[in-house]
Amino acid sequence: MFEKATYLISSPSYNQCPKPDKFEIAFIGRSNVGKSSLINMLAGRKGLAKTSGKPGKTQLINHFLIDEEWYLVDLPGYGYAKTSKKTRSEWAIMIEDYLVHRESLQIVFVLIDSRLDPQKIDLEFINWLGENGVPFALVFTKADKQSINKGQQNMAKFRKVMKQTWEELPMFFLTSSETGHGKDELTEYIQTLLEN
């Protein structure tokens, strides 16, 4: 599916992103959730998105052109990053502007660490997406760090918490960038979105 992936541009604001003339799919998650690794796994290219052991490495809106047809967008993580409060609030504004105003954005994949119980910061972000009418799906990462069963239990806990406030739940995926678990399901889902 991802025959060709090319890094295009890193933008400090949504106004400076490429022309919104192509279908766009964005990835976001808490700092250090494994976002760059997941993007590299999907693209089948190790060094496409820069991975780092340090949280908060992605600081700009990164566009990758996939198969000359659509954009994959790597957004800065939310939550912990060793940066000043001022920088963090600038990131928040940049991300919110992009998510709300980018007309070519089709869906946001929100990445969540499958090893953790539901985190307040993730739930708050998801609720914000809902309030602003931004379509999203949930991708649980690092499935290889524990049993698949445990990952599925944590996903079930997440669903349970969401059901308290959400009438309809989004799509859920369990993935591992190390083993490739969930890659086929995720790429098929993206393919369906592209075709529709």
Q: For residues 113 and 30, is the Cβ–Cβ distance under 8 A?
A: yes
* Helix extents (H) in the chain: 35-43, 85-101, 120-131, 148-163, 183-195
pLDDT of residue 157: 96
Residues 25-52 have pLDDT tens digits of 999 999 889 998 999 999 888 778 776 5
Query: pLDDT digits over 86-107, tens only?
Result: 766 776 788 899 999 999 999 9
Q: Please state, rounded to an integer, the average pLDDT across all residues of the chain.
A: 89
Domains of the chain: 5-195 (3.40.50.300)
Residues 6+ away with beta carbon under 8 Å from 133: none
As a whole number, mean pLDDT of residues 66-80 equals: 87
The pTM score is 0.92
- Number of Cα atoms under 13 Å in the Cβ half of residue 161: 14
